[in-house]
Amino acid sequence: MPEIIVLISVFLIGVLASFFGTMVGGGTLLSIPFLMMIGLPPQVAIATERFGGIGQVVASFLKFFKSGKIVWKYLLGLTIISVAGSLIGANILVNIDPAILHNMIGIMILVLLPLLFLKKDLGIQHATVSKTRIIVGSALYFLLQIFAAFFGGGTGILIAYTLMFCFGLTIIEATATKTVPWFFVSVASLSVFAVNGIINYKLGVIMLVGMSIGGHLGACTALKKGNVWLKRLFLFFVIISVVKLLFF
């Protein structure tokens, strides 16, 4: 494949993956397999995608910040947990093949799927939750950030689940709030990836530009469409993610 076609494709995949990834998570299920398809080893594909994801996080944060949808009271705790988890996960990535987690993440998403049907207000209305649920949610969030740092695929959906069910956030609040911890996750994990020399910077820069555009468009669309529409899209991506992780 000619190099110019590869670069254009990486850009377009970055736009598409970050557009949907910003709204409902799961964008890495598109971007990481694509980078592997064009020849990057799994670890390099994940590290390069994470480099490009900086653009998505910054662009979407700026839009969500202006909207007032970020729930600031949880940010410090979530950020500390995220950085700790990402440093552990990034070091794991350097030493193992992350493909072994496909089925594990897929099963976890599948088990949580009934919550979307049984709790109709989940993600639609902001809820008050107990301290116990927040503590449990924090522990789950820590484990998910470890997975996210060295795998990525599908973990964004599980993080959204956790923020909605354990912290009582609406789906838009969860989407907006997780951008701040995810920025620090990306920086922390990228430092490990850079030291180990597994980032393809040429493709990473192209993907960063594409993901910046997609992240901005995704945030604008989420805010415009609202929680009900976004939850329906979230449900669709949950099903797609389960199929992708368990069968492909």
CA 30/CA 68 separation, integer angstroms: 29
Q: How much is the pTM?
A: 0.83
Q: What is the pLDDT of residues 70-123, one digit of tens each?
A: 999 999 999 999 888 878 877 776 666 555 555 666 676 676 666 666 677 777
Residue 134 pLDDT > 90: yes
Tell me how crowded residue 72 is: count the other CB atoms within 10 A of its CB.
Answer: 9
**Alpha helix stretches (DSSP H) within the chain:** 3-24, 28-37, 42-67, 75-93, 102-118, 131-150, 155-165, 171-177, 179-195, 201-225, 227-247
Q: Are 167 and 21 in contact (CB under 8 A)?
A: no
User: Phi and psi for 122 in degrees, rounded to 5?
Assistant: -60, 120
pLDDT tens sequence across 44-67: 888 899 899 999 999 999 999 999
Q: 8 is written with which tokens?
A: 């254009």
Domain count, the chain: 1
Question: Average model confidence (pLDDT) for the chain?
Answer: 85
d(CA 123, CA 125): 6
pLDDT digit string, tens, across residues 4-32 = 999 999 999 999 999 998 988 778 878 88
Print the domain residue range for 148: 3-247
C-alpha distance from residue 60 to each of 32, 66, 155, 179, 207 (Å): 20, 10, 18, 7, 15
Residue with tokens 């494949």: 1
